[in-house]
């Protein structure tokens, strides 16, 4: 309920045509390089997760008794070393990408599907519907994402589906707020009045006019929430509340490796690095897309 | 002004009520009987009945709910299932640890984040200053606090042996000495206790502070960019004021207004951060207590911790709203 949320409404404009042509090479580079890097990283992560059985050199659960807690490269077949059960850290990290990305993408889609219709309804309808929806969103907003996800996962139990549900619900109020603020601007546009004058019903106006016009901005922000979702999943797993071992997820690889940081820091170092790179990839893409959309931050 | 304050309070009360309802019902839909999960399958029927009665679980849900709200209003969260003593006592002991962690990491975040944000804004688009700083901020934003914590532990505790690996230091001793006045009788002992606390606090505060600094630097960068494009800055420059005076006298103060509004958000993020930071550094505190309580299925303790977290966040947001009205008088006239 901080005032900031109302004092600084999200300002998402539409790119002006004709500006592209006047840009120097440096300008283009500045604009597209972060997106390109982010996209390449994100695509690589998705490929890694999708093709884990093909890419991972060894099975993530195979235990090699002759190579317990060996450092990176100490045994030739274990490039990033092994953990306390002699499992290959690299293979576990590659398989762990599946959990992180599945949760990251699915929970954002879930939060989007729950939050956006409610937000558009609130913004377009106004009145008591808006008040009711927004007060509920405010209540959920009182909880930080991790805390809310933690409460829900504790209540439901730590499985992949529950984790997705929990993080999705925790992200929902953010989508409600954003969709409402976009709908508030869009409903004042002439084409909405025109649609109404032509006799379109409320539902049609929302689905055919408000939603498509808000979609671009919503998708951009959703990209940033993928980063939040991945970090939240890793945090839950780290706290031991996520997907239970032996299924590898970056958070629980890191959590298990914590006991061995004295002798074998590679387990935590590489799994943490994987989390950071994944979060960074989606942050880069989301940030750059938002800069492209926000006229205040675009070239002077 | 009074009307504004009252209106804010009126909004905060139902929010608190709603948030607490969420906590209550989330804890009630937990699968399984808390008594069974706590005492195990081998517990006798009498023992289970005893436990259910002690927790008041045999009463209707509505009665339990009303009871929870009424007790929470008096900061009475019942007794811990594991430790046996009152949850409020436990929370009171843990709260100072979390408070100093939040405050010290806020100091680190402000000292690192605000200057970086300002410099980055003033040297906007400079390839040697703005870009590297923004990349560092983005890395900080993407780095999970528990990973940074572990890296700091590996380097500074295990390799260099400069800081302790676990614990929170003798904070209770230091506070006790302050309360009893012993701190002034034996200043040497008191300073030793304070030193011990700071020694334990350094790495956690740095880890949490750095990850928060990333957010702060990005926010202060955009706040500064917004401010320096204002007319009064142009006026100040047109008057022939030194650039330094323009930045420090005109821009800096106005930049702090939007920054103030994110304090509420900051506290929420920092409190979440303490859950992870305290777990990594095995520090006593509310966050570690919450995680341990969930792990041990100690429901009153978990419920108490979450309630206190939520209360703190709503309270801080309320205070920020008030402060905002003080800083920017236009707010109250809306």
- The partner residue sitting opposite A283, judged by closest CB among B142, B280, B317, is B142
Q: Report the gap between the CA of A198 and the closest CA in chain B (Å).
A: 36
- The partner residue sitting opposite B143, judged by closest CB among A1, A276, A284, is A276
User: Which ranges constitute the DSSP H helices of chain A?
Assistant: 4-7, 25-50, 52-55, 89-125, 127-141, 145-156, 160-186, 190-197, 202-204, 211-238, 250-257, 266-293
List Cα–Cα distances, A261 to A94, A268, B173, in angstroms: 21, 7, 31
Q: In whole angstroms, give the CA distance from residue A237 to residue B259.
A: 32
Which of A5, A143, A227, A242 is the best substitution to test chain B (most B C-beta atoms within 10 A)?
A143
List Cα–Cα distances, A107 to A112, A228, A250, A253, A280, in angstroms: 8, 10, 17, 21, 18
DSSP structure class, residue B329 = G
Q: Report the gap between the CA of B292 and the closest CA in chain A (Å).
A: 9
A221 and A290 Cβ atoms separated by less than 8 Å: yes
B 249-308 → A contacts, CB under 8 A:
258, 261-262, 264-265, 268-269, 271-272, 275-276, 279-280, 290-291, 294-295, 302, 306
- The partner residue sitting opposite A2, judged by closest CB among B16, B27, B261, is B261
Q: Do B262 and A143 touch (CB under 8 A)?
A: no
pLDDT tens column, A152-209: 888 787 789 999 999 999 999 999 999 998 888 888 888 888 998 998 888 888 888 8
Q: Report the gap between the CA of B180 and the closest CA in chain A (Å).
A: 37
B 95-124 → A contacts, CB under 8 A:
none
Q: Does A299 touch chain B (CB under 8 A)?
A: no
pLDDT tens column, B49-60: 887 777 777 788
Residue of higher predicted confidence among A283 and B332: A283
Percent of chain B exceeding pLDDT 90 equals: 18
- Identify the pLDDT of residue A102: 92
Candidates B158, B281, B165, B166; CA nearest to A263 is B158
Instruction: Please report residues of B whose CB lies closer than 8 A to that of A296.
Output: 226
Q: Does A265 touch chain B (CB under 8 A)?
A: yes
Low pLDDT (below 50) residues in chain A: 1-20, 296-300
Q: Do B331 and A3 touch (CB under 8 A)?
A: yes
Sign of CA dihedral B170, B174, B179, B181: positive
Go through chain B and tell me how many residues it has: 334
- Identify the pLDDT of residue A241: 86
pLDDT tens column, B185-207: 888 888 888 888 899 999 999 99
């Amino acid at each position: 309920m901080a005032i900031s949320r109302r004092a600084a409404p999200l300002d998402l404009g539409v790119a002006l045509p004709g500006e592209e042509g006047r840009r120097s090479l440096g300008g283009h580079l500045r604009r597209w390089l972060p997106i390109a890097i982010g996209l390449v990283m994100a695509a690589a992560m998705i490929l890694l997760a999708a093709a884990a059985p093909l890419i991972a050199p060894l099975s993530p659960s195979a235990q090699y008794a002759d190579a317990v807690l060996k450092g990176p490269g100490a045994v030739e077949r274990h490039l990033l070393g092994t953990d306390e059960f002699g499992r290959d850290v690299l293979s576990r990290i590659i398989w762990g990408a599946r959990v992180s990305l599945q949760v990251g993408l699915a929970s954002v889609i879930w939060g989007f599907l729950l939050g956006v219709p409610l937000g558009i309804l609130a913004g377009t309808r106004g009145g008591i519907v808006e008040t009711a929806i927004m007060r509920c969103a405010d209540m959920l907003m009182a909880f930080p994402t991790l805390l809310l996800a933690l409460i829900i996962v504790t209540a439901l139990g730590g499985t992949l589906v529950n984790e997705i549900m929990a993080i999705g619900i925790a992200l929902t109020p953010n989508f409600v707020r954003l969709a409402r603020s976009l709908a508030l601007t869009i409903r004042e546009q002439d084409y909405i009045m025109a649609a109404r004058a032509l006799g379109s019903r409320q539902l049609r106006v929302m689905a055919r006019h408000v939603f498509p016009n808000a979609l671009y901005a919503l998708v951009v922000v959703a990209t940033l929430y993928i980063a939040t979702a991945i970090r939240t999943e890793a945090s839950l797993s780290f706290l031991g509340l996520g997907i239970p071992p032996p299924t590898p997820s970056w958070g629980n690889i890191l959590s298990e490796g914590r006991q061995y940081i004295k002798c074998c820091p590679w387990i935590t170092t590489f799994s943490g690095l994987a989390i950071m790179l994944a979060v960074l990839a989606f942050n880069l893409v989301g940030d750059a897309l938002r800069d492209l959309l926000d006229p205040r931050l675009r070239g002077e | 002004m009074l009307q504004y304050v009252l209106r804010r309070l009126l909004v905060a009360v139902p929010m608190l009520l709603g948030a607490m309802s969420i906590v209550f019902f989330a804890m009630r839909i937990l699968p399984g009987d808390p008594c069974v999960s706590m005492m195990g399958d081998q517990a006798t029927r009498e023992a289970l009945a005893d436990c259910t009665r002690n927790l008041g679980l045999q009463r209707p849900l509505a009665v339990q709910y009303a009871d929870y709200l009424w007790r929470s209003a008096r900061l009475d969260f019942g007794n811990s299932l594991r430790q046996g003593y009152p949850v409020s006592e436990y929370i009171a002991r843990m709260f100072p640890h979390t408070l100093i962690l939040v405050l010290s990491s806020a100091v680190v975040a402000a000292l690192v984040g605000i200057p970086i944000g300002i410099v980055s804004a003033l040297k906007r688009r400079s390839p040697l200053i703005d870009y590297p700083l923004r990349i560092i901020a983005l890395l900080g934003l993407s780095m999970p606090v528990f990973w940074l914590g572990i890296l700091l532990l590996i380097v500074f505790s295990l390799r260099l042996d400069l800081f302790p690996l676990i614990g929170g230091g003798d904070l209770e001793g230091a506070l006790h000495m302050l309360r009893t006045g012993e701190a002034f009788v034996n200043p040497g002992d008191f300073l030793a206790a304070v030193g011990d606390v700071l020694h334990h606090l350094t790495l956690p505060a740095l880890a949490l502070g750095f990850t928060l600094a990333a957010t702060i630097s990005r926010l202060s960068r955009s706040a500064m960019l917004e401010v320096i494009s204002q007319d009064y800055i142009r006026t100040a420059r047109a008057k022939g004021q030194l650039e330094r005076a323009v930045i420090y006298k005109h821009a800096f103060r106005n930049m702090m207004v939007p920054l103030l509004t994110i304090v509420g958000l900051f506290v929420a993020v920092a409190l979440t951060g303490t859950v992870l930071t305290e777990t990594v550094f095995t520090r006593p505190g509310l966050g570690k207590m919450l995680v341990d309580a969930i792990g041990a299925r100690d429901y009153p303790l978990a419920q108490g911790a979450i309630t206190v977290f939520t209360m703190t966040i709503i309270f801080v947001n309320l205070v920020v709203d008030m402060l905002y009205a003080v800083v920017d008088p236009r707010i109250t006239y809306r």
